[in-house]
Amino acid sequence: MVGGSVRAGVSRRLVAVDWAMAETALSLGHAPVAIAELIQFRKTTACVVPPGCADLGLRGGPNFEALQMLAPDLVLSSNFYGFIGPQLGRIAPVLVPDLFVPGSAVLPRLRAAQTALARAVGDQDADQALATQTEAEFSQLAAQVASYAATPVCVVTIGDARHVQIFGADSLYGGVVDRLGLRNIWREHTQFGFNAPVPIDRLLDFAPARLLVVGEVPPSVAKGLSQNIFWSRLPQVTSGQVTWISPSNPYGGMASALRFARALVAGVIQ
């Protein structure tokens, strides 16, 4: 998982290309000195970013000159950015966990990446404490929705007035649904975004499922939805089985997973 030579307990100066790994470092109490696409990251992350953190530029095309000047001990990347691995590796050792993999559950991979990072910075105590705290909160949240386990859910974002993206078990959202003991009705293939773009009328196939809509819908799309005959006739819409959930970073770390879990539980039990 680590490219280059790095001794556990020595690597303290971190920079993050991948947002999930940036959240993981912040959650462990080892704030990166720089994060890619920092402005947008601050808007989406569930973590507090120190004011002195620098912006590395684009995640897929960071400023390598600035990165070299920062003289990091370790670069936090992921399988998403393997194509820039050689350039990163010439600057510093790189931690490259496989986080989001088609057909594979995300949360165990995030947990393993957390342990790998904690080992690299020599802070296994923080890893254990964070894991214990995270599992305890997930268990508490799962208990709150245990009575809803019999009803399947369908997690979507609305792309436009005619299409939705349905999140599968290999997505962060799908992983949270599974961890909470709920049943994700979508078990088909997903695409690169770990969701499946489908026409809205396809939701008629999932009439028994509670519809969990993640994120805000732009006014123009909302107007189009109100005029879409398939949407207006969905059993979930006519019976009030639509839950609107505030967004979390779908490619974030365990902090984003917990934020989504809290929002999901609050929406379901309201």
What pTM was computed for the model?
0.91
Q: How far apart are CA 179 and CA 9, in angstroms?
A: 32
Q: What is the DSSP string of 196-249?
A: EEEEGGGGGGGTTSEEEEES---HHHHHHHHT-HHHHT-HHHHTT-EEEE----
Residue 38 shares a structural domain with residue 86: yes
Grouping H, G, I as helix, E, B as strand and the rest as coil, residue 160 is: strand
Q: What is the CATH number of the domain that holds 237?
A: 3.40.50.1980
* Nearest by Cα to 253 from 121, 137, 92, 97: 97
The pairing of beta strand 163-167 with beta strand 34-35: unpaired
Q: Check residue 3 and give its pLDDT.
A: 46
Q: Check residue 270 and give its pLDDT.
A: 80
CA dihedral 113, 114, 116, 117 (to 10 degrees): 110
> In this structure, is residue 80 part of a structural domain?
yes
The tally of domains found in the chain comes to: 2
Q: Classify the phi-psi angles of 29: left when phi > 0, otherwise alpha if psi is within -120 to 50, otherwise beta.
A: left
- Among 46-55, 67-76, 113-122, 161-170, the least confident range: 161-170
Q: What is the pLDDT of residues 61-73, one digit of tens each?
A: 999 999 999 999 9
* Nearest by Cα to 212 from 265, 149, 154: 154
Q: What is the pLDDT of residues 238-256, one digit of tens each?
A: 999 999 999 889 999 999 9
Q: What is the mean pLDDT of residues 11-32?
A: 95
Q: How far apart are CA 156 and CA 171, in angstroms?
A: 11
62 CB neighbour count, 10 Å cutoff: 26
Residue 46 shares a structural domain with residue 121: yes
**Mean pLDDT of all residues belonging to the chain:** 91
Determine the straight-line distance between the first and last CA of the chain, rounded to whole angstroms. 42
Q: What is the pLDDT of residues 172-226, one digit of tens each?
A: 999 999 999 999 998 876 655 556 678 898 899 888 899 999 998 888 888 999 8
In the chain, % of residues over pLDDT 90 = 76
Residue 84: domain span: 2-137
Residue 68 shares a structural domain with residue 184: no
